[in-house]
C-alpha cells in the first residue's frame, strides 16, 4: 500500500512544474505574516494546500481566511487548494499555478 504524499512533496509537484525552468525561486514552508505558508513562488505568489486534518474545523477555516486577508493586504497573491485537488486533479492545479506565473503575479512585491 502506498503512503499518502507529504505536504512538501505535493508542494514541490505543484509549484516547481515550470518555475524552476524559468529560474523562479520556490521556498517551501516560508513564514509570512506570523504563519507558515506551504509554498512561496518568486516574491509574492503563495500556494496553500489544505488537508482535512488541519483545515476541517470552523476555527481553523476562520484563521486561514484571516491570514489570507492579511497576506493580500501585504501584496501577496494566494492560491489555496485542497489536498484532494492536488492529489487527484494535479494537472488542473498546475495549470492554475502556471496561469498565475504568466502575468508575473509571482513578482509583484
Interval 3-21: pLDDT, tens? 445 555 556 566 555 555 5
Going from the N-terminus, what domains does the chain have, and what CATH number goes with each? Answer: 7-104 (3.40.960.10)
pLDDT tens, position by position, 48-96 = 998 766 666 788 888 889 999 999 999 999 999 998 998 899 899 989 9
pLDDT at 13: 60
Q: Annotate the chain with three-state secondary structure.
A: CCCCCCHHHHHHHHHCCCCCCCCCCEEEEEEECCEEEEEEECCCEEEEEECHHHHCCHHHHHHHHHHHHHHHHCCCEEEEEEHHHHHHCHHHHHHHHHHHHCCCHHHCC
pTM of the full predicted structure?
Answer: 0.76
pLDDT value at 36 more than 60: yes
Amino acid at each position: 500500500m502506498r503512503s499518502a504524499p507529504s505536504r512538501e512533496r505535493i508542494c514541490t509537484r505543484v509549484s516547481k512544474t515550470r518555475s524552476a525552468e524559468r529560474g523562479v525561486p520556490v521556498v517551501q514552508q516560508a513564514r509570512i505574516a506570523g504563519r507558515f505558508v506551504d509554498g512561496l513562488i518568486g516574491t509574492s505568489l503563495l500556494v496553500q494546500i489544505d488537508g482535512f486534518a488541519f483545515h476541517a474545523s470552523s476555527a481553523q477555516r476562520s484563521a486561514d481566511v484571516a491570514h489570507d486577508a492579511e497576506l493580500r493586504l501585504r501584496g501577496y497573491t494566494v492560491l489555496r487548494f485542497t489536498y484532494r485537488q492536488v492529489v487527484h486533479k494535479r494537472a488542473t492545479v498546475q495549470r492554475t499555478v502556471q496561469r498565475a506565473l504568466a502575468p508575473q503575479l509571482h513578482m509583484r512585491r
